[in-house]
Amino acid sequence: MTEQRKNAVERLNCLGEQWVGAKDDADKKKRLENEIFTLAWSIFGKVKLKNTDFPLMEGIVEFIEKDWGQFDAAKGSLYGFFLTRLHNRAVNEYRKQFKDALNHADSLDASVSPGEESETISLLDQRGQEDEYPSLHGPRIPELMAVIIHFQERLRGRSNNPERRNYFRMFFTDGVSDALRRGDLEPESVPRERELFEAMKTEFLDYFLSKRCRTAAGIRDCPPKAYGELVPGRPMTEPKRPLPNDVYITYLNGREGKALKSEATVTNQRNAYKLFLREILGDAQAL
């Protein structure tokens, strides 16, 4: 284990103890969860099930829904808890997607104990997991448009679902509008502007911009609404970009009838989006 990974694991375990110690302090727990899940993605994001190319983090949604509230620091470290439960959830997801071609049942079924981290990590293929997660920004708009428009051809298995496609379109919309506002993307350089707006989620665009815009130049010249207009109780200042997670939660709950409570859901969808773009666009930077 490298020093960098060791420090990340120690930090994760420390955050786990703080989360348990927060007890009924919902705001503190929420802040800790955001850091915990971001750090967990950096540790486990590139880990794959042994003898497969299947990502361990594919089971993260089920983990959040069914496992997260059960963490108890008195029974073991948070790192071990993540490793065990993510492994089990990923095995379940793998079976759902590839039930007719499961050739490595023994290695996939091997038990994982939170108290045996140094041994259990050998069950997983860690190729490249020590690399820093890439920063994704810059002008690759034609390729990105094609990627967003053709999700059905790009997303595989259970990842190709309406919820993930919806998040990816929102992230794309946020990134494009920010690039136009910063001047990193010139309106004149946008090919097939009509297709750009087909790829974007215009309902979300209308939610966070101060007026309705249907041209790239219009977006460039249109400031976003104040943070407090997007999320009640927040400062009446321009929101940070990318837009904060609570903007997404407020939009989805208020406009699309969701019942999201944890920002970790948005964080993990955002990380999946970044990983997806990196896989599609290679090492080149993307919005």
pLDDT in tens, 13-67: 999 999 999 888 888 988 999 899 889 988 888 888 776 777 888 888 888 888 8
pLDDT digits (tens, 9 = 90+) for 169-212: 999 899 889 888 888 778 887 777 888 898 889 999 999 999 99
pTM (whole model) above 0.75:
no
Q: Same domain for 12 and 115?
A: yes
In SS3 terms, the chain reads as CCHHHHHHHHHHHHHHHHHHHHCCCHHHHHHHHHHHHHHHHHHHCCCEECCCCCEHHHHHHHHHHHHHHHCCHHHCCHHHHHHHHHHHHHHHHHHHHHCCCCCCHHHHHCCCCCCCHHHHHHHEECCCCCCCCCCCCCCCHHHHHHHHHCHHHHCCHHHCCHHHHHHHHHHHHHHHHHHHHHCCCCHHHCCCHHHHHHHCCHHHHHHHECCCCCCHHHHHCCCECCHHHHCCCCCCCCCCCCCCHHHHHHHHHHHCCCCCCCCHHHHHHHHHHHHHHHHHHCCCCCC
Q: What range does the domain containing 188 cover?
A: 141-281
The predicted pLDDT at position 256 comes to 95
Q: What is the number of domains present in the chain?
A: 2
Query: Are 203 and 106 found together in one domain?
Result: no
Tens digits of per-residue pLDDT, 200-246? 899 999 999 999 999 999 999 999 999 999 999 999 999 999 999 99
On whether both 98 and 187 belong to a single domain, the answer is no
Same domain, 15 and 84: yes
Q: State the pLDDT at residue 281.
A: 60
Let me know if residue 133 belongs to a domain: no
Supply the pLDDT for residue 151: 61
